[in-house]
Amino acid sequence: MGYIRPSSRLEAIPPYLFSELDARRDQVSKMGMDIIDLGVGDPDLPAPKAVAEAAAKAVLDPASHSYPPYEGTSDLKKAIARYYKERFNVILDPDAEVLVLGGSKEGIAHLATALVDHDDVVLVPDPAYPVYEVWAKFCGGRVVHMPLLEKNGFFPDLSLLDKETCSKAKLLWLCYPNNPTTATASAADFKEALDFASRHNLVAANDNAYAEIQFKHSPTSILSLPDAKENAIEFGSFSKTFDMCGFRLGWAVGNHEVLDALKAVKKNTDSGVFTAVQEAGRIALEEHMDFANSLRVTYKERRDAIITEIAQAGLDFRIPDATFFIWIRVPAGMSSSEFSLRLLEETGVVVTPGNGFGPYGEGFFRISLTRDKKRLAEAGRKIRGFVRKITN
Ligand SMILES: *Cc1c(COP(=O)(O)O)cnc(C)c1O
């Protein structure tokens, strides 16, 4: 099949930076070294049992076996609207302002198809979840990176964008609580982004996958700001709040024109999410919000188990108030990749090099708290030993 040439579109996908690291991990593991993998962003704990049971029951109901409604079941859309009311005091019309997605990644990807024409500018944070950029490019858009700097609280400085960029911009991506930097956004931050969006007539999209994984502040939504629905939409996910990654269920809420455009793309792509999965999501939102409390406790304990060790190592990082990550500066004189590779080879601990999230991630590495407390403390001790060795 050597004569089949994939589309040139696929050249927009950035090179996979972690193949060397992955290969080394497999080698190191084969040599018998104990691997502690803190690289993955996939929760290690199961979804609430009652949610899985609700899904199983719904699978057996023949009513689930026909095509689901494209935009989501009425029951789930109402449950999402109720969640927004209770959690953020945001009123949503379940029919016009809520769209059910097959995981939020699916909607994040298709939003570009819905909005971006050739040469439109898409404003993408750097570092960031790679999907924003890849799909902007798939659609012929021009990606402009907005550096996330520690001195600005890892929020983009929108005043640095030039006039031409602003006039061509169609879409502004935000992600707060942020993966990978763990930063949260204040109401003032969101307001600045919304003012910018309305001044330049563009869509602000906040990826709120980590809404419920917060240790200090209550969860926030960009939609809770006045008039936010004029320019903004927000993505939500069942993956991190309820450990339901495998179910593939999420939502988009907010501006109804944007959601209509997204719906039009989806109508011609998928035919909705399996009704049984939507039923499980409804049960999760309506009956198991306390699960998020237990997750917050678990991740906070895990965070505390490892930060004591890495603080003693002299590493430079901010104690995260949200998400299940820690974003840490690499010791001076080493690149992200070099540090991650040597850490793996000498200790068996796998971390994610920051440059995998964009050029401004260089100089950092990310730890994921998706292992138990004991393993995290053990990983922390190994990191401490390694850092002591290389900085002496
Ligand atoms: C995990 C994650 C998602 C969620 O993806 P799903 O498709 O809902 O599983 C979205 N954005 C970010 C930044 C994430 O880390």
Give the model's confidence band at 13: pLDDT under 50 very low, under 70 low, under 90 confident, else very high.
confident
The secondary structure element, H or E, covering residue 234 is strand 232-237
Token pair listed for 36: 């502690």
Ramachandran assignment for 355, one of left (phi > 0), alpha (psi -120 to 50 degrees), beta (any other): alpha
* pLDDT at residue 22, rounded to an integer: 87
Give the model's confidence band at 18: pLDDT under 50 very low, under 70 low, under 90 confident, else very high.
confident
* pLDDT at residue 1, rounded to an integer: 57
For residues 86 and 206, give the distance between their C-alpha atoms in angstroms, rounded to a whole number: 19
User: What is the residue with the minimal CA distance to atom 14 of ligand 1?
Assistant: 209
Q: What is the pLDDT of residues 58-115, one digit of tens each?
A: 999 999 999 999 999 999 999 999 999 999 999 999 999 999 999 999 999 999 999 9
* Coil, strand or helix at 299: helix
* pLDDT at residue 392, rounded to an integer: 77
Q: What is the pLDDT of residues 114-167, one digit of tens each?
A: 999 999 999 999 999 999 999 999 999 999 999 999 999 999 999 999 999 999
In the predicted model, is pLDDT for residue 362 greater than 90?
Answer: yes
The CA-to-CA distance between both ends of the chain, in Å, stands at 53
Average pLDDT, whole number, for the chain?
96
Q: What structural domains does the chain harbor?
A: 8-46+290-391 (3.90.1150.10), 49-287 (3.40.640.10)
| Burial zone of 8 (CB within 10 Å; 0-12 exposed, 13-18 middle, 19+ buried) | exposed
Pairing of strands 364-368, 349-350: unpaired
* pLDDT at residue 17, rounded to an integer: 72
How much distance in Å is there from the Cα of 250 to the middle of ligand 1? 9
When mean pLDDT is compared across 3-12, 127-136, 183-192, the lowest value belongs to 3-12
The set of protein residues with a Cβ atom below 6 angstroms from ligand 1 is: 41, 103-105, 129, 175, 179, 207, 209, 237, 239-240, 245, 250
How far are the Cα atoms of 7, 60, 114, 269, 389 from residue 265, in angstroms, in the given order?
20, 30, 6, 6, 54
When mean pLDDT is compared across 32-41, 43-52, 236-245, the lowest value belongs to 32-41
Beta bridge pairs of residue 100: 251
How much distance in Å is there from the Cα of 343 to the middle of ligand 1? 27
Give the model's confidence band at 15: pLDDT under 50 very low, under 70 low, under 90 confident, else very high.
confident
